[in-house]
Amino acid sequence: MEKLKPTFWVRDVPVYGDVILSPMAGYSDVPYRAICRAFGSAMQYTEFVPVEMLLGRPNPIWRALDKQPDEYPMVFQIFGNDAHLILRAAQKIEAWGPDIIDINMGCSTRRVSGRGAGVGMMPQPELVAQTFSLLSQHLRVPVSGKIRLGWDERQNYLEIGRIMADNGASLIALHGRTKEQKYDGQANWQAIARLKQAVNIPVIGSGDVTTPDDIEQMKAETGCDGVMVGRGAIGNPWIFARRNCEDLTAEEWADTIRWHGQEMVAYHGEKVGMTLFRKHLKKYVAGRPHLAPYEPQLMQITQMIHLNHLLDEMVTTNPKSFSGKL
Ligand X SMILES: Cc1cc2nc3c(=O)[nH]c(=O)nc-3n(C[C@H](O)[C@H](O)[C@H](O)COP(=O)(O)O)c2cc1C
C-beta nearest to ligand X: residue: 230
Is 36 noted as a catalytic residue in this protein? Answer: no
Query: Closer CB to ligand X, residue 48 or residue 151?
Result: 48
Asked if omega into 293 is within 30° of 0 (cis), the reply is no
x/- site string to ligand X, residues 135 to 174, per CB under 6 A?
-----------x----------------------------
223 binding ligand X? (CB under 6 A): no
Tell which positions 53-112 bind ligand X, by CB under 6 A.
77, 104, 106
Considering only residues 144, 181, 188, 206, which one is a binding residue for ligand X as defined by CB under 6 A? 206
Q: Which stretch binds ligand X (CB under 6 A): 4-12, 150-158, 226-234, 254-262?
A: 226-234
Q: Which stretch binds ligand X (CB under 6 A): 201-209, 238-246, 248-256, 288-296?
A: 201-209
x/- site string to ligand X, residues 10 to 49, per CB under 6 A?
------------xxxxx--------------------xx-
Query: Closer CB to ligand X, residue 177 or residue 260?
Result: 177
Query: Closer CB to ligand X, residue 131 or residue 294?
Result: 131
Considering only residues 18, 71, 208, 225, which one is a binding residue for ligand X as defined by CB under 6 A? 208
CA angle at 82 for the pair 94 and 130, rounded to the nearest 5°: 80
Which of 36, 107, 224, 245 is catalytic? The answer is 107
Single-letter code of the amino acid located at 225: D
Tell which positions 266-295 bind ligand X, by CB under 6 A.
none
Q: Work out how close the CB of 234 gets to ligand X at its nearest, in angstroms, rounded to a whole number.
A: 8
Q: Work out how close the CB of 115 gets to ligand X at its nearest, in angstroms, rounded to a whole number.
A: 16
CA distance 110 to 3: 47
Considering only residues 219, 231, 242, 282, which one is a binding residue for ligand X as defined by CB under 6 A? 231
Query: Closer CB to ligand X, residue 25 or residue 85?
Result: 25
Query: Closer CB to ligand X, residue 29 or residue 208?
Result: 208
Considering only residues 67, 175, 196, 280, which one is a binding residue for ligand X as defined by CB under 6 A? 175
Q: Work out how close the CB of 323 gets to ligand X at its nearest, in angstroms, rounded to a whole number.
A: 27
Cβ contact 212:244 at 8 Å: yes
Size of site (CB under 6 A) for ligand X:
20
Cβ contact 217:190 at 8 Å: no
Assign 3-class secondary structure to the chain: CCCCCCCEEECCEEECCCEEECCCCCCCCHHHHHHHHHHCCCCEEEEEEEHHHHHCCCCHHHHHHCCCCCCCCEEEEEECCCHHHHHHHHHHHHCCCCCEEEEEECCCCHHHHCCCCHHHHCCCHHHHHHHHHHHHHHCCCCEEEEECCECCCCCCHHHHHHHHHHCCCCEEEEECCECCCCCCCCCCHHHHHHHHHHCCCCEEEECCCCCHHHHHHHHHHHCCCEEEECHHHCCCHHHHHCCCHHHCCHHHHHHHHHHHHHHHHHHHCHHHHHHHHHHHHHHHHCCCHHHHHHHHHHCCCCCHHHHHHHHHHHHHHCHHHHCCCC
Q: Work out how close the CB of 208 gets to ligand X at its nearest, in angstroms, rounded to a whole number.
A: 5
Cβ contact 48:42 at 8 Å: no
Q: Work out how close the CB of 118 gets to ligand X at its nearest, in angstroms, rounded to a whole number.
A: 8
CA distance 74 to 65: 10
Query: Closer CB to ligand X, residue 181 or residue 250?
Result: 181
The residues of the shown chain that bind ligand X, judged by CB under 6 A, are 22-26, 47-48, 77, 104, 106, 146, 175, 206-209, 229-232
Residue positions annotated with a catalytic role: 107
